[in-house]
Amino acid sequence: MSNVVVVGSQWGDEGKGKIVDWLSDQADIVVRFQGGHNAGHTLVIDGRTFKLNLLPSGVVREGKISVIGNGVVIDPWALSEEIVRTGLDIGPHNLMIAENSPLILPLHQELDALREAARGDQAIGTTKRGIGPAYEDKIARRAIRICDLANRDWLDNRLENLLRYHNGLRRGRDWPAVSSERLKESLLEVAEWLLPMAQPIWRVLHEADRQGKNILFEGAQGLMLDVDHGTYPYVTSSNTIASTAITGSGFPKSGYILGLTKAYTTRVGAGPFPTEDHGEIAAYLSEHGAEFGTVTQRRRRCGWFDAVLVRQAIQTSGIQGIALTKIDVLDDLPELNICVGYRIHGQGYDYLPAAPYLQNDVEPIYETLPGWQSTTAGARHWDDIPENARRYMIRIEELVDCPISIVSTSPKREDTIVLQAPFDQD
């Protein structure tokens, strides 16, 4: 048995889809353990592109079991559409969903969108897909969970409790009330295809462990979007750090922790971004890196590699190795900057403080390295990497105090250099 947890070490969009797909070849089970359909993973396989939101990346491989854990909030209508969109044979034989997973309902999406509109220029930049309000209901113990759909009388009870809150909130803002009967009817239709996939996932994973199976845990978003450890309040509504693999699945043996790390930095939505560029470099990275959100298609904000931020993510999540992605995007640049420290109000910092009023005033301290201006794209061996590109990566290792385990040199599955195989490290 060997287990690997994959998390993003920045603000997401680090290329987890390809790496998780590549690792899933060695896994028996792939588990998604937090977030919702606000995440987006893009896989390119045999010339075919898959854009996944809720589905674990293991669904594209035959013979693999994919699992959605209890830490995920699930929009069943979005999940149904995604299954159809893949064109793959997906059902109870290869997809299991935690029976205690909370559901995202239409009322959550409406509330999310209305709140974002009301915030005006203080908007957080959510995807308006109901993720935050669904997690709110989970914590407030009024969520509808998949297991509630199996008993009509119990579902009535849960809907009454849920709508007592939501309709009271909506009346106070002159919004139309939600019909309990119509919502129940929609949920019972969902139950017909959703319940056959519902399982006690903690038991499934414990049995797989007993049989010596390899388990791959797939995170969404990035560590700096963690609701506790990220750039609050400009964060997602779940914990994105690696330890969430345990609480989000009910399985206590997470194993080797791999941090997905882009060779530069990007961010979608509002919030602090110390190394953000607003000129030619941002335009270059956006164009050459195709930096548009998988879910929202919003242009990502772009900037230099922030070693301070990544080192902080590594320390809070216990990352043991990083998978460096998109090194090929930097091929044409004559020189590159790496952020090695911060200056805030004249004081030096080697970490990003939690207080937003300090985060907003960060002045990055840069170290400049020569570029390589030759190609790394498609390289599959360390010796194929230009010397200055190797020096750039070695300097990253030194600054973040963590070894590079994998280098990705293109979106293609086979364009991958393995320096330290994650499944062999558990």
Spatial distance between the Cα atoms of 301 and 266, rounded to a whole number of angstroms: 5
Distances in Å between the Cα of 166 and the Cα atoms of 133, 311, 329, 392 are 10, 41, 47, 52
Strand stretches in 111-224, DSSP E: 198-199, 215-218
Q: Select which of 13, 112, 137, 277 is catalytic.
A: 13
Spatial distance between the Cα atoms of 376 and 382, rounded to a whole number of angstroms: 10
Rounded to 10 degrees, what is the CA torsion of 180, 181, 184, 189?
-150
Distances in Å between the Cα of 24 and the Cα atoms of 29, 48, 81, 113, 422 are 8, 17, 23, 35, 11
The angle formed by the CA atoms of residues 73, 75 and 77, to the nearest 5 degrees, is 165
13: which 2 tokens?
A: 């969009």
Helix (H, G, I), strand (E, B) or coil at 24: helix
Note if 350 is an active site residue: no
Strand 363-370 versus strand 305-306 pairing type = unpaired
Spatial distance between the Cα atoms of 137 and 89, rounded to a whole number of angstroms: 33
Spatial distance between the Cα atoms of 60 and 51, rounded to a whole number of angstroms: 11
Spatial distance between the Cα atoms of 76 and 95, rounded to a whole number of angstroms: 14
Residue 382 one-letter amino acid: W
323: which 2 tokens?
A: 């998978």
Strand 48-52 versus strand 41-45 pairing type = antiparallel
Q: Select which of 21, 37, 41, 148 is catalytic.
A: 41
Note if 93 is an active site residue: no
Residues acting as catalytic residues: 13, 41
